[in-house]
Chains A and B, each alone.
Chain A
Amino acid sequence: MKILIVEDDADAASFLVKALGESGHTSDHAADGETGYHLAESGSYDVMIVDRMLPELDGLSMLKKIRANDDQTPALILSALGQVDDRVEGLRSGGDDYLTKPYAFSELLARVEILSRRKVSDDASTSLKVADLELDRLSHKVTRAQTAILLQPREYRLLEYLMQNAEKVVTRTMLLEKVWDYHFDPQTNVIDVHISRLRAKIDKDFDVQLLHTIRGSGYMLRAENG
């Protein structure tokens, strides 16, 4: 994956370039908004990681400028400002996701990988399928190997999100944001219990496990073991 990093802090930027490189992604780095804008114009990137506070042209203005050129490259905004209002402002300016500093790299990586997928398919399909697990978004019916599975509304939305992002790591924070629409950290790991309930419903009676826990990161729904 080709990633554009727009970040004025040299240490933070070189950490990102290195860590993303270790995860198999190549990245370009711009230290200010103007350079970032020109790089975004000339190169074709899969994802942009944009710091909010930048010299020359701040991150949000840069994104607006890029979006004005009809460039829809997914963007993750990084910011020390983490209030809900700040997020809303960031997402309105053309950001696709918002991550507050300081962040865990695993969280950033998971979000970047999910953003890159979003560019290809736009979640519009009416049915989702992972191995023999199927979810019909019109009738809200879930089946595994033709056996109907009854889910609570929240469990349905949790599964839907996991299936939309199958084969990708999904973090607890992401689930809390996208499924529950909360942006705070509920201290105790409430999400784990919801996941284990869901797992009991979709995996318990089957030989092949689909919902995996990724240590130190989150969860992943995928067809194959390993």
Chain B
Amino acid sequence: MKGVRSLLKTTAIRLSLIYASIFGLLAVAIIFYMTGSTIKIFEAQIETSINAEVLELEQVFIAGGVNRLVVEMERRSRGPGANLYIVTNPAGVIIAGNVANIQSGVLDQVGWTGKPFQYSKFNNTQSNKYLAIARVVEISNGMHFLIGRDISQSETFGKVVKRALIFSLVAMVVLGLATWFFVGRRALKRIDMVSKSTNRILAGDRSERLPLSGGGDEFDRLSSGMNDMLDQINHLDKGLKQVSDNIAHDLKTPITRLRNKAETALTGKMTAANGRKALASVVEECDILIKTFDALLMIARVESGSTTAKFTRLNLSKILVDIVELYEPLAEESVLDFKTDIAVDIMVSGNRELLSQAMANLIDNAMKYSTKKKGEQTSIQISLQRNSKGALISVSDNGPGIPEDKRDHVMKRFTRLEKSRTRPGNGLGLSLVKAVVQLHKGTIVLGDNQPGLVVTMSFPTI
């Protein structure tokens, strides 16, 4: 019983029931209309033929009086499928015709009998009643004659039509209900399976997936779409977990350092100079932490794409030239040489601040890792070219480079290949570059400069 109740609750069944009732009402209306109009057509035919006969018989009466009329009626009433004929005297007593008995009152009114009336025939037992409609005509000497027609035939026909229609309607309803029941139960079963799976997923089983029937129907399409969504959520979830693990780990290190510095100052000999020195280094550590947080927030914001709305048309060449100009004096100071090959007026759609920072990070990295040899000019190559795909930027150095298997890894947050971590940096530089490139719908590839690293980025131009 519970199954039936839940079946009744399904949308499919409810809609079906609504449609079925509307359909049923319409069908009943059609039955009434059809039987009604069938009878009307019959009656109209009868009226026409009776009117014609009345005219003929009136002619007969005018020509030959009552006797000829009675003779003619007797003749006609003997024919096969004859109409009803009655002639009465002025007192209303039947004097001729083929009707044994007639419903009282019918003969009193001249003209068409409004409703069908009952009568009985001679050759049958008198109790057998038949239905007919008729026209009563008064002739000059106060006598009446009636011409009528049995309508039992048309009534029967109407009944047959009605019965056929009712039968087909009932059959349709029964078949429909059976189909709905079957389809609804199938749908319900599939939905039950899906909701069981989602319950397991909700309960924490992340590997659970929605069942597929393999038929490729709309349920399968929906389920496989949801499965893809679950895969993506799992993937993101894993990424998030890894990132938060990294963050926790990498922020713990500077915070521990901060704590150690403060503790050393507290336990050591407290002089004004010592205290000042310790506080200064504590502030310095705090600044580093703040910078790391800022960088993390920035990456998160860029990755979430919340700055996309502020894209404008930009001259990428000018952005790169400006950044090179910013770093060139510093490079020269550290005996580095910038070799630039920047094509002019390459336009992209983007955010100047973010693109500038990405370029700055790359140049900063290149300078940090360049290997300086005595008596030799070390150079960093920076180029911007237009190719078939768009704008191509490359920044290359002659440093230690990045082994091929680590190249994807270094673009993740907090990855630093140097174990000793002697060079300054927080391991977030390349992560931001990657996020910025992706925000600008570009690509980034790390390659081998033999020796050194070459970072190649491409951006769509406008």
Contacts and interface: CB of A to CB of B under 8 A. Distances in A.
A207 B356 CA distance: 39
A194 B322 contact: no
B93 interface: no
A85 B352 CA distance: 12
Interface stretch (B103-111, B286-294, B399-407): B286-294
A153 to B, nearest CB: 9
Nearest to B289: A102
Interface of A: 82-85, 102, 104, 154, 180, 182-190, 193-194, 197
B290 A102 contact: yes
7 contacts: A84-B353, A182-B360, A184-B357, A186-B327, A188-B424, A190-B327, A193-B333
A45 B358 CA distance: 41
Nearest to B367: A188
- The size class of the interface chain B forms with chain A is 20 to 34
Contact of A184 (B290, B301, B360): B360
Identify whether the interface residues of A are mostly helix, strand, loop, or mixed: loop
A187 B323 CA distance: 13
A129 to B, nearest CB: 27
Contacts of A190: 326-327, 329-330
Interface in B263-316: 287, 290-291, 294, 298, 301, 307, 310
Given A83-B301, A182-B356, A187 B364 contact: yes
Given A187-B424, A187-B425, A193 B353 contact: no
A214 to B, nearest CB: 16
B351 interface: yes
A131 B291 CA distance: 38
Given A83-B301, A102-B290, A187-B364, A182 B353 contact: yes
Nearest to A101: B290
A185 B351 CA distance: 16
Contacts of B322: 180
B329 A197 contact: yes
A154 B353 contact: no
B333 A183 contact: no
A83 B294 CA distance: 10
B360 A83 contact: no
A190 B359 CA distance: 14
B192 interface: no
A85 B310 contact: yes
Contacts of A189: 330
Contact of A183 (B290, B353, B425): B353
Top 5 A-B pairs, shortest CB-CB distance: A193-B329, A184-B357, A193-B330, A84-B353, A190-B330
B205 interface: no
A185 B329 contact: no
A161 to B, nearest CB: 15
B360 A186 contact: yes
B38 to A, nearest CB: 79
